[in-house]
Amino acid sequence: MVVVLSIAPCARAQASADTAAARSAADRGRILLVLPFDNRSGQPSLEWIREAAPQLLGSLFASAGFEPMSRADRMYALDHLGLPQNFQPSRASSLKLAQTLDADSIVVGSYLTDGTAIVAQAQFVDVPHLRMSEPVTARGEMRDMIAVFDSLAWKLTRQLDPGFSVAKETFIAAGKSMRVDAFEQYIRGITEPDQAESLRHLAQAVKLSPAYAPAWMALGRENFSIQQYDQAATAFSRVGRNDPDGLEAGFYGGLSLLFSGDYPRAEQAFAGVARILPLAEVVNNQAVAVSRQGHDATDLFVQAAAADASSADYHFNLAVSLKRHGQTPGALIELAQCLKLRPSDTEAQALQAAWKRPAAAAGANPDAEAAPDPLERIVRTFDAVAFRQAAQMLDQVDATKLAALTPLERAQKLTAQARGFLDRGLLLEAERLYQSAVSADSKLAEAHAGMAQVRERTGDTVAARNEAHAAIDLKPLVDAYLVLGRLDLAANSLFEANNEVGEALKLDVTNPAARELLRQILAKTGQRK
């Protein structure tokens, strides 16, 4: 089930979603809460698909520009409403739930089996008008379960946003790299209450699908919770910075490295997050990592205290750093502010007494053991809400900047962002932005060449050719010629493929993709001879 809420915002914490297109769904108040589907198969062994549905749909809704709430958010909401985690409401209770939550619409889903096939069905409720839509259905072999839910997500997206124009093939291609057995292990890992079993399932998931970032993120969380910091740091490092969990992984990866004593790498991890979202807890921990290496981190502690002046710990850390570097008056001021915010802080009280003690009194007993140098305090928790709100603010600022550009400039910026998604294999996001670029300026050849590459990867050869030719008609481009060359090579049209790679090499004689394509053409020609 999917509930589209208009309550507490829950934007994805990723700085790459910085376009007006990416914000379109949120602007209409479509925050999605994906609840488990109803298992109507009668097979307990398929119960795991209940939780698989929200994970699959949620990731695609996010890629389509919506803002789905995480599983943790969903569980919190159910708990807050006094509902069990396996809540499956009837139509009447669904409407009541939606009205209670001030929801825009609800999508109710279920799945069943038919021989070796799985059939998934869903429909949404228009809450203001108390109307239920016609159900949408997707069907396929169990081995293609992910593609079945990808297809269902596309149909639901088209219902929720009739103007959405990304091709169905792109949705399905988005999940092609995920193995069903790996995904099952991941779902079992995040839902298994026994920690040892959870770790076993998640370890198997990343073994079967080493590129699946959510499984690495879940594995990192589990290892972190049991203080296996070396293993946690390794797992978090496998989550890319541009993944939805990238910033959180960077933060907890930095913590894991701090607790492991690897201060240089911890500093790098926190600095990487701070470059995107310089929140107080990130900068503070970066400063701790710098200080633990024996360097002066006072400027970073100043930045953290300025970012959140209401935190006693940040003032404490700044005081310690100032005192360590001979600035006792400033240190006492910061320590006083710490105690003003937290009067019961016994460590700060002891430091204040020691620092105020006259030097003569302190040196009266030369045999007395000197007090140990206090350590700066580490922020150990990740404030997901703050991160999401900060990311949302960045998105809004970037969207405003984007809207102020000329149509050509906007198209160029969107195309550059789309290229980044394409290079990472995120076809759905790439197509969305390429389409927005073409809408902004249909005469930008690079946007059509990008669309040609997306269509090629999703298997729509006719559309790929059309987009490649549209690009070349506007401006000769290597990427467009290479799309045509690869398609002709696959169709065994070697003369045409040779001409197209020749045109590409005229534009860039050192292009590695063009030279590799030429090698393949020559090899195939030699085989024919």
Take residue 373 and report the two structure tokens written for it: 């140098």
Query: For position 19, what pLDDT does the model report?
Result: 33
Q: How far is CA 47 from the centre of its chain?
A: 26
Query: For position 99, what pLDDT does the model report?
Result: 63
Q: What percent of the chain is modeled with pLDDT above 90? A: 61
User: Which band of pLDDT confidence, cut at 50, 70 and 90, is reported for residue 529?
Assistant: very low
Between these two residues, 31 and 459, which has the higher pLDDT value? 459
Residue in the block written with tokens 């102020």: 404
User: Which band of pLDDT confidence, cut at 50, 70 and 90, is reported for residue 22?
Assistant: very low
User: Which band of pLDDT confidence, cut at 50, 70 and 90, is reported for residue 2?
Assistant: very low
Each residue of 150-187: b (16+ CB within 10 Å) or e? bbbbbbbbbbbbeebebbbbbbbbbbbebebebbbbbb
CB atoms within 10 A of CB 387: 21
Query: For position 25, what pLDDT does the model report?
Result: 38
3-state secondary structure 337-393: HHHHHCCCCHHHHHHHHHHHCCHHHHCCCCCCCCCCCCCCCCCCCCCHHHHHHHHHH
**pTM (predicted TM-score):** 0.79
Mean pLDDT, range 251-257, rounded to an integer: 97
CB atoms within 10 A of CB 275: 12
Residue 8 pLDDT exceeds 80: no
Mean pLDDT, range 437-441, rounded to an integer: 94
Instruction: Please give the Cα distance from 240 to 472 (Å, whole number).
Output: 34
Q: How far is CA 90 from the centre of its chain?
A: 33
pLDDT in tens, 217-247: 999 999 999 999 999 999 999 998 878 888 8
Residue 369 pLDDT exceeds 70: no
What domains, with CATH codes, occur in the chain?
2-176 (3.40.50.10610), 280-358+373-382 (1.25.40.10), 399-528 (1.25.40.10)
Strand locations in 363-501, DSSP E?
A: none
Residue 403 pLDDT exceeds 60: yes
Take residue 442 and report the two structure tokens written for it: 């249909």
Question: How far, CA to CA in Å, does 421 sit from each of 103, 243, 424, 429?
Answer: 31, 11, 5, 6
Mean pLDDT of the chain: 85
pLDDT in tens, 115-169: 899 999 988 877 777 777 889 999 999 999 999 999 999 999 998 888 888 999 9
Take residue 28 and report the two structure tokens written for it: 């209409």
